Structures are given as C-alpha cells and as structure tokens.
Structure 1
Amino acid sequence: MTQITKPSSSSTLSLARLLDTFSAFIDLAAGFAADLRERLTRGAAVRLVEAEDGVFTLALPDGTARLRLDDPTPFPPEIATALKGREVELALDPARFLFRPLELPRGAAAFLDGIVRSQIDRLTPWSATEAAYGFTPPQDAPDDRLALTVAATARARLSPLTDRLKAQGVGAILVTTQAEDTGAPIRVLDHAASGAASGVAGVRRVLLGVLGGAAGAALLALVVSGFVGGSLDTELEDITQRIAAQRRALVTARDGQGGTTVLAALERRKREVPAGVLVLEALSQVLPDDTHVTELQMEGDRVEVAGVSREAAALIRLLEQSHQFAEATFVAPTTRAAGEAGERFHISARILLPMEAMR
C-alpha cells in the first residue's frame, strides 16, 4: 500500500505568511518609490479658493485668474499650464458642507479617525462610504473631554469638480474647507491623481522584475560556481595524486627499492664534484702564511686563485707537491705594486678528485 504524506499545516502557514510579508514589503516599497517620484516630478502646489458665487480664484505669476469648475468650456492656456502636473488644493466654500460638533472622551484621541467614521451615518444623512468628511483638530473641553467639529458632504457633489481637474492632468487634489465657527482648516478629501495607482503598479512591476532578475542572476552564478568548483576540485585532486606519486617515488628511491639509478647519480656527482669547503681547506694548508688570497673561483675541476705573496713563484711548486692540486700555472704575469710587500699573482690549477688524492 502506498502511503501519501500530506504537507503539514504549519509549513503551509509559514509559507503563506512569508509570501504575505514579501508582498506587503513590495507594496510598501512601491508606494514609497512612486510617491517620491511624484513629489520630484510635480511642481509646487497651487491653491484654488472658492468664493460664495462659486467662482474660483487662482494665483498666477502675472496676477490672479478667475474660473468656474462647473463650466464645461476649456481652461485658458495659462491656467491649463499652471495646473498641469501640479498638486492642487481645492479650498471649497463652507456652504457646501454640513458641520456637526462632536465631543469625545480624552482617551479617544488616538482613535479619532475610526470613531468619526463610525459616527458619520449618525451625524449626517450619508454613510461613511457616501460622504467626504473631515474634522478639526481636537480641543480640550470640560470634564476631561475633547471637542471637535466634523465637516461632511456627499462625494457625488465633489465629483464634478475633481473630475474637471483630473481632466487637466493635475498631479493630486486636496479638498479642504474651513469651520464656520473657528475658521480652522479641515482636510476633507485627499485624492491622488489617476496615474498614481498605475504608477505604484508600475513601480511594483519594476521592483518584482529587478528582484526576479537578481534571483535569476544569483541562481546562474550558483550553477556556474558549481561547475567551476567541480572542475577545480577535479584538478586539485589530480595534482594531489601526482604529488603523492612523486612523494612515493622519492621514498622508494631513498629506501633503495627500485631507486638505485637516482641514488647512483647522486653518489657519482658527490664523488666527481669537489666540495668548495674542502678546496678552501686544502689551499689554506698548502699556501704559506705570508700569502693572502683575495679571489677564489671554481668551475668544474679547475680553481683559480688570486692574491698577494712574498714569493709568488714558489706557489706553483707548493701546489704541485700537494696531493690536492695539479697542473698549476700562472694565468697572468706577477706584478708588484708600490707600497706592497709582496707580488700579485693569479694561478689556475686542476683539483684532484677524491679518488685521485688517495692514490
């Protein structure tokens, strides 16, 4: 019987939680990047202020312009240029809004947004989804309470105004008004431009593409490093084996097991090539005490000696009579310099091999 093992619920939950966390991180990064790009690309905010007759005023560099947002005629070129890609604050006439006072316990200060939202259908004729609303900063009230003013209107009443501005390609729309009693500004609606959501989606796609490319590059590098590492391991193993073989050959030669040829060559070289220390010692025994050697050169079985001696001619006889040297001759004439007590000499002689010296 074949047994089917199901994945544990804990591993499935961990994977889902990891994917949710990654998606939230991408959304947060995309939103931040899109907002930063929007702030860098759009110009400074402009303010449209509504008067009681429904006419809006707009401050321009060369004066003030007046316009109506409920008029379908196109905006003049200077106004369209001033609004293009800019953040627009739409300061509406308070007559468009319904104002209601609201008192709350002081402990509700941290939850004002949720509390006001839950109270909209009680304070106004509209539900929270149908209303565009805001409230003034809370003020201290007696009995340890907070007092604020809620301003609300139907979203449908604001749509013609915001749609007209969106058609002009504005960057973002902020709808505000002022409380009738205190004159405090109230932020009613913060509407991003139509391209903001697509901008966030575009940045999200770019981030996912970059992360996907980085993951692909990392995977490719891992695969390549695996192949290269395997090849290097093979070469290292081959070199190690060759070193081990050479080491075994040397050990075998040292122990005399099949390495007689190498040992014989070393032994023959030791017998045939005179040691420099032995040659120097032999010269010190042959040459008299009044002779000073300044130069000594060895090449094969020949040695050349240069220096100063009281009787340079006698050195040839002394070298020939020794058992270490033969065929001694002057390489250069002897000379005598002013102020020196002896003659300068340069002699060449053949070094007798160890076997020849024993005869």
Structure 2
Amino acid sequence: MSVANLPARAGGLHVLAAWGQGFAQWWLSGLRDAVPARWRIWAEGETRPQVMLWRDGDGITCRLTSAAGPAETRIPSSHFNAAALEQWLAGQGVSREATTVAPVISRELFFLRELSVPKAAFGALPRILDQDIVRRTPFQLSDIWHAATAVGGESDGVVPMCHWIIRRDRAEAALSELGLTSRDVDCLAVADAGGEAVPVITFRAASDEDPAWALRAVRLLALVALGAVVLGLVVFEWRQASVAAAVETALVAARQSAQSGRDGMDPAARLFAMKAETGILAVWDELSRILPDHTFLTETRIADGTVTLSGFSADAARLVRLIDQSPLFSGATLTSAITPDANERKERFSIAFKLRGARAVRPAARPRTAP
C-alpha cells in the first residue's frame, strides 16, 4: 500500500464507521417504537448508576443515584481516593465498572462557545467539533478535552448548543484536588444555576450511549439467534437419523428378500455360493484383458451365469477361442452368423458363454401323480 492511499482509506473507514453508527441508531429507534409500552418501561427500569462528587470544605461529598434510590456520604479529603470511592460503592450494592463517576469542577476552568447545530448533523457532531477547534480556536486537540451539550429546544431543525472546552492540565489539577485522576472518572460535570450537577464532557461514552433497554435487546436477540442455531442443529440431526434409519430398514428388507429367494441351502452353503459367484466387475476386467484392441462391444448381458456379447471385431472367429481360454469363462459359442459390416469395416458377431462357478438355476420340481 502506498503512503498516498492512506488518507483516502482512512477517510473511507471513517465514513463507513459513521454510516454504521447511524444505522445502529436508526435500528434502535425503530425497535423502540415497535416495542409495546409496558415492555419498554420494563426494559428501561434499570438505569446506569451515577455518582457525583465534589469538594465540600475539608471533605469530598459523594451522591449516588441508582435504581435502589439515592445515597450520599461525605469522606474526609485526606482519606479519599479511587479505592475509597470503590469501597463505598460496593457497600451501596453497585460496582465501580457499572457506575458513571462524574466529578463536579468549577465552571471557570472551561472555555465556552455557543453553537447552532442542525439536528440532521448530530451523527457527525464529534467530527464537526474537532474541525471547529482546529479552525476557530487557538487550542490543539491533544491539549484539551471538549464536548457539546444542548442548551435549548429545537427550532426549525436547529439545536442551540454550548461547546465546553477545558485544558487537560487544568482538569488534571482539579481532579488531583479530589484525589482522583482522569483514569478514575468517566466524565466531567459542572453545577448549573440551580446547584444541580450536570455532566458536560464524557470520556467513556460507550456505556452512556447504550441504554439498558438497548443492551437487553441485543442480549435477547443473541439468545434468540443461539436458540435458532441449536434448534436447527437438532432438526438436522433428527432428519439425518430418520434418513439413516429408513436406509437401514430398506437394506434389512432387501437382505431378507434375497435370502428368502434362494433355494433351500443352509447358511454355510449359501455363503460359499456367494463367494464362488463371479462379480460383474470381475467379468468386465477379464473381458478388457482378453479381447483384442480391434474389438469393441455394442451390447453386454449377464443373467443367470450366462454372458452374451455383441459387437464388431477384425477377427471375430478368433474370439471364441480367446474366451474359452479364460479361467473365468467356458462354453463360448456363436449365437448368430458372423457378418461383415461395410460402415465399420469389421465383422459383426454375437457370442454367448458361461461363467465358471456360477450356479445353474434349477427348475421347480413337478409334483408326483399317483399311479
């Protein structure tokens, strides 16, 4: 791959990822509309727990919001760290991995910009914000964290938004005052005019973008797909077993029919006779060996230990002697006169002979009549 093709391929992958994200959102939206209301209420019954924490004098206040209800505690700042937070969450019956941690920091640390974004462009909003940072601000993307939040309702398809920008060094300093680092939190929050904490910059958005009902829907579909695969395998195995049983039954019936058709021989004599009989493959192999190259057959019949051949040969009279000399054949005779054929420029023949060791068919015994 040439270096010149790297940007084009990267752009293609980005477009494909954006298309996949848009398709997933459309599918989830349609699934949500199709699900009955009470099912949707059940699916949305579990929301992701969220803990807000902020400095309160010489302590850190932690407020947990979960399905079990709100909980709040105050831990001295000298004893507060990520391990202490995890221990407190475990005591509340939730795990750190399943909880969104949002520290509340001062609004003065952020640089705010007002934007108006069309609702149709929400799927490409992260890319739009990155381009806006590069073109219209003095910041570098590697030095900041940024995100946008809606600050009003939609008007003519356009949503007013607030673009939150904070330098990473400032954010790390604010987090260190709380005894945390950026690896310990999931988002940054600020206090609104009413004193309520509002998340503004999310670091790990995957867990927030996938609501509980969506995760349940994906798991349910996965279980249904797994069940369908298992059911298909069971049906396939059952069908194969049925076919095998039918074939085995047919074979048993054929063996019984063949055994009943034989005359009154004991099992040992019947087995010896079967071994003594010459097979069709053996007949063909012997004919291929003894017949000359200038001879070819047009018809072959094998019945009751007798073989009848018809065909053309450059020396048809000699074939009788060649067949009689074979250890498998005997009693070769011409069944019709040898006639020349003008088209083939050879002699037409018809020969019959017996297979050595073949059992002759005995006629049925006639009943005796009283004198």
TM range (shorter): 0.3 to 0.5
TM-score under structure 1 length normalisation: 0.37
TM-score under structure 2 length normalisation: 0.36
Q: Report which of the two structures shows the higher radius of gyration computed on alpha carbons.
A: 1
